Chains A and B, each alone.
Chain A
Amino acid sequence: MTRVSIQEADFDVGAELAALQGERTDVGAVASFVGCVRGHTLADDVSALTLEHYPGMTERAIEAMIVAAEARFGVRAARVIHRVGRLLPGERIVLVAVTSSHRRDAFQACEFLMDYLKTHAPFWKKETTPDGERWVDARVADDAALERWGLASRNATGDGH
């Protein structure tokens, strides 16, 4: 089964969760996160988001994150879908879903995957606002979120040297 999809189209959360669980009887927990486009930031109204990615690297990076999640948590199966292209406020952007025997592993693996994806998957968001278009800045808080898992993250900080 495909574990990672990068696509312009929307996804059906219910169908994806059902497919992830499948016929398995060893799954006691299905946890998922759905990220959506916010229509406003602290500063401005946002009428659309445009998402760009690095084809090839994106799929490879997220696949490696799933392998890392499997090594840490009792993951039975995982599914990540991330949309690209132009998205409007309220639209779904990302789905991360995990199955496991017990809820704790499923919750944790789901959060771990999102923290990892935010800081290490090559996506870039551009906001359309009344003042024009602008690239979204990376957040130091997202690095801090990954570091809680014991993984160093210098996406938002550092000059690259």
Chain B
Amino acid sequence: MRLTLKYFASLREALGSGTTLDWSPAGEPSAGALRAWLRAQSDAHAQALAPGRAVRVAVDQVLADEATPLHDGAEVAFFPPVTGG
């Protein structure tokens, strides 16, 4: 499936602002499965997206969680906890 991947704040600094990704998931495509797959792509990804690190995810510009399913064409964003206001 084709995904638009985005990173913000400290994750953007570590991994770039994102990319278009052709992803062939091994199992059910979810935000958590994508995060796990991305960890295997480089040391920087492994560190920035490590289990236990506070990483939030949005799917199609709505806050989601790791169980949220992904569909072809989805926009998936990873970022640290928000600090606006």
CB contacts (< 8 Å) of B54 on chain A: these are 138, 156-160
Query: B8 contacts A124, CB within 8 Å?
Result: yes
Cα–Cα, bound, A74→B77 (Å):
34
Q: Can you name the residue of chain B whose Cβ is closest to the Cβ of A120? A: B63
Complex interface bits, B46-85 against A, C-beta within 8 A gives 1, otherwise 0? 0000011111111001110110000000000101111111
A158 surroundings in chain B (CB, below 8 A): 54
Do residues B51 and A57 form an inter-chain contact, with CB atoms below 8 A?
Answer: no
Select B61's contact among A54, A156, A157, beta carbons within 8 Å: A54
Q: Given A61-B63, A122-B8, A122-B58, A159 and B81 touching (CB < 8 A)? A: no
B44 at the interface (CB under 8 A from A): no
A126 to B6, CA, bound (A): 19
Q: Which of B6, B57, B81 contacts A155 (CB 8 A)?
A: B81
The answer to whether A120 and B8 have CB atoms under 8 Å apart is no
B77's contact among A57, A125, A160, by CB below 8 Å, is which?
Answer: A57
Min CB gap B9→A, angstroms: 4
- B10, CB-defined interface residue at 8 Å: yes
Q: Does B29 contact A (CB under 8 A)?
A: no
CB proximity of B8 to chain A, nearest CB, Å: 6
From A53, A157, A161, give the contact of B84 (CB < 8 A).
A53
- Residues of B that sit less than 8 Å from A by CB: 6, 8-10, 12, 32, 35, 51-58, 61-63, 65-66, 77, 79-85
Distance of A145 from chain B, by nearest CB (Å): 10
A residues bordering B, Cβ < 8 Å?
A: 35, 51-54, 56-57, 60-61, 82, 93-94, 114, 117-126, 135-138, 142, 155-161
B73 CB, nearest partner CB in chain A, Å: 15
Other A-B contacts than A94-B84, A161-B66, 9 sampled, CB-CB below 8 A, are: A60-B62, A118-B84, A122-B79, A123-B85, A124-B79, A138-B80, A138-B81, A157-B54, A160-B57
> For residue A118, which residue of chain B has the nearest CB?
B85
Q: Cβ of A122 and Cβ of B82 under 8 Å apart?
A: yes
A142: chain B residues within 8 A (beta carbon)? 85
- Among B53, B62, B82, the residue within 8 A (CB) of A119 is B82
Cα distance A45–B12 when bound, in Å? Answer: 25
